[in-house]
């Protein structure tokens, strides 16, 4: 007598084939179901990609603007530094010129005093 749990090889093959066919049918049903919403999901993905690219472009533009602002600030600071150095150098040159003029005036005054003393001495000697 055969036991109902005694399944032969052919029965197992048929059961496996039947299970695969049912699985394939379920997959096809899900595929048809998904096809209805696939276009919707694709549009949503495209919108996400477009939004992401827009944010990336905005970040890149902000980064470029910040870099340009920093470069302009650096140039302005460099120009200010160079102007201060030029002003300082000019002030030093002016001070040197003033000191040179003052020294020349002192030397001229000293020579004039010397000449006056020499002339006074000569005048005294001439009176004798």
User: Burial level of 97, CB count in 10 A (0-12/13-18/19+)?
Assistant: exposed
* pTM exceeding the 0.75 threshold for the entire prediction: no
All structural domains of the chain with their residue ranges:
8-98
Give the total residue count for the chain. Answer: 128
pLDDT at position 99, please?
96
Of the pLDDT bands very low, low, confident and very high (cuts 50, 70, 90), residue 31 is confident
Instruction: Give the residue-averaged pLDDT of 10-33.
Output: 89
Tokens representing 116? Answer: 């006056």
Say whether 11 sits in a helix, a strand or coil.
helix
Where residue 2 falls among pLDDT bands split at 50, 70, 90? low
pLDDT of residue 29: 85
CA pair distance 122, 116, nearest whole angstrom: 10
């Amino acid at each position: 007598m055969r036991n109902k749990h005694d399944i032969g090889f052919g029965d197992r093959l048929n059961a496996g084939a039947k299970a695969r066919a049912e699985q394939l049918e379920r997959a096809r049903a899900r595929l048809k179901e998904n096809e209805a919403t696939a276009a919707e999901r694709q549009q949503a993905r495209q919108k996400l990609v477009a939004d992401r690219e827009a944010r990336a472009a905005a970040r890149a533009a902000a980064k470029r603007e910040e870099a340009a602002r920093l470069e302009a600030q650096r140039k302005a600071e460099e120009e200010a530094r160079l102007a201060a150095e030029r002003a300082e150098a000019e002030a030093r040159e002016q001070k040197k010129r003033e000191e040179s003029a003052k020294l020349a005036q002192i030397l001229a005054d000293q020579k004039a005093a010397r000449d006056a003393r020499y002339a006074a001495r000569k005048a005294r000697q001439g009176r004798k």
